[in-house]
Amino acid sequence: MAPRLAASPAPDGFTEVRAWPLRTLDDLAVLRADLVASLPPAPGGRPSLEEIPESVLLVASELATNALQHGDGAALVRLSARPDGFLLEVQDRKPSTAPRIDEGSTRGGGGFGMQLVVRLADAVGWFTTDGAKHVWARFRVRAATPAVV
């Protein structure tokens, strides 16, 4: 049996950095191009997205694609940050359908995307609001440990 995603609100304390409205799958190219460049390095020890770009990019792409393909129209992707990490939230217009993690389907049939999301993110959840479903993924940025000499 495939694991289920728990319905829970997104973690608090994050500040929105950027948002991308998506109307078609063609808009994913803009999201992918902009995402990694969205957080410039900041003074004061704030983590840079450069520390975890591949995971964030893959998860954003997967969640946005799912929202566009299964969410009844346009989607909205938000990237938020706080000193210890990042939060991706993807909103679609189909609150009646819960996201699910498939065990996989026949070759080429899909079904592995949410498995990837759960493996790459530190936490994943979803919740609904009036007329929308929100799927979120949190990424912790771990402090670099000094090299032992």
pLDDT tens column, 108-122: 555 678 999 999 999
Contact status, residue 22 vs residue 75, Cβ threshold 8 Å: yes
Q: Provide the whole-model pTM.
A: 0.84
Domains of the chain from N-terminus onward: 15-140 (3.30.565.10)
| pLDDT of 43 above 50 | no
Helix (H) or strand (E) holding 59: helix 53-70
Q: Supply the mean pLDDT for the chain.
A: 83
Q: Compute CA 27 distance to the chain's CA centroid, rounded to the nearest angstrom.
A: 16
For residue 117, give both structure tokens.
Answer: 């999301």
How many helical (H) and strand (E) elements, i.e. helices and strands, does the chain have? Answer: 3, 5
Question: What is the pLDDT at residue 35?
Answer: 87
* 133: phi then psi, degrees, rounded to nearest 5: -115, 140
pLDDT digits (tens, 9 = 90+) for 25-36: 899 999 998 987
Question: What is the pLDDT at residue 64?
Answer: 96
Looking up tokens 């191009």, which residue turns up? 33
Facing residues of 137 across strands? 88, 124
| pLDDT of 16 above 70 | yes
Instruction: Give the model's confidence band at 1: pLDDT under 50 very low, under 70 low, under 90 confident, else very high.
Output: very low
| pLDDT of 142 above 70 | no
Higher pLDDT, 83 or 41: 83
pLDDT digits (tens, 9 = 90+) for 63-81: 999 999 988 889 999 999 9
| Of 49, 56, 91, 55, the residue nearest 74 (C-alpha) | 91
